Amino acid sequence: MGFWPKGYKSCFFLSFDYDASSAETWKTPDDLSSLSKGRYAPRVAIPRILDLLDRLEIKTTFFTPGWTCDNHPDSLADILSHGHEVAAHSYAHEKMTELSAEKEAEVWEKSMAALERVGVKPQGYRAPYWMFGERSINHMKRLGFKYSSNMMDEDMPYMLEHKGKPTGLVELPVEWLLDDWPHFEMDRMGPEEVYKLWKPEWEGLHGLGRCFGLTCHPECIGRVSRIKMLERLVSEAKEGGDVWFPMGKELSDWTRKKLK
Ligand SMILES: [Zn+2]
């Protein structure tokens, strides 16, 4: 008996980090061009991604900074009306482990309030830049979160412990290899090259019956040539019909049920 529900052989956890221009508001507040880059997401990429997910019949999770909710509420409504999950991703893409305790607490309050304004009580949290510390674990417990998606020590979901003690949180692990941003936006690789990075990792994990967690950013992956590559990767993974494509909250609930 494998780990996954309904006899699925493996799991493909596709998720999006809907940063929009949140980080640029404090990194480059006077640079209009830099600020505009994130707007490609609500204007172009999100509709394109929602259309793709509809065609593929997949529901996914959008980890979304509070700033994005406050500045693009219609886009959030669109994502939610398509049946996708919205989860937490700070307020303005802060580097949480570099903030004071007071400042981090403030960011959590602002993030939760902004999500609430679009009708979301988040179950999951992914830290900006995956800068994730003990204080965040404590805030997550206090605020009733169910899962984290921050650790890089596994390719299966698991129950997260800290200092040898259970946190009560499920962990959905991640890795920079399976993140679109460094390959496309930093290393300037082409879609075919990135496909060649991701495809063998997918095939290998599928063969082992494990979990492939792919993190994408709308303003990055939403470019036509790149989203075509994503469509190819996901369509090929779907072909055999033996792969589970859950939202984060489904993957978290299932893991808790299996491992508790
Ligand atoms: Zn982000």
Digits of tens for pLDDT over the chain (260 positions)? 689 999 999 999 999 999 999 999 999 999 999 999 999 999 999 999 999 999 999 999 999 999 999 999 999 999 999 999 999 999 999 999 999 999 999 999 999 999 999 999 999 999 999 999 999 999 999 999 999 999 999 999 999 999 999 999 999 999 999 999 999 999 999 999 999 999 999 999 999 999 999 999 999 999 999 999 999 999 999 999 999 999 999 999 999 999 97
In the block, which residue shows the tokens 């996954």? 4
Ligand 1 geometric centre to CA of 82 (Å) = 21
- Measured in Å, residue 66 CA sits from the centre of ligand 1 at 11
Cβ contacts of 116 within 8 Å, gap of 6 or more? none
- Total-model pTM: 0.98
Spacing, Cα 128 to ligand 1 middle (Å): 5
Instruction: Using the mean position of ligand 1's atoms as its centre, give its distance from the Cα of residue 129 in Å.
Output: 6
Residue 250 burial (C-beta neighbours within 10 Å; 0-12, 13-18, 19+): middle
Alpha-carbon span 31 to 244, nearest angstrom: 42
Given the structure tokens 């859950």, which residue do they identify?
246
Å from CA of 157 to ligand 1 middle: 20
Task: List the CATH code of the domain at 6-119+176-259.
Answer: 3.20.20.370
Distance 211 CA to ligand 1 centre (A): 21
Residue 222 CA to ligand 1 centre (angstroms): 15
CA gap 208, 213 in Å, rounded: 14
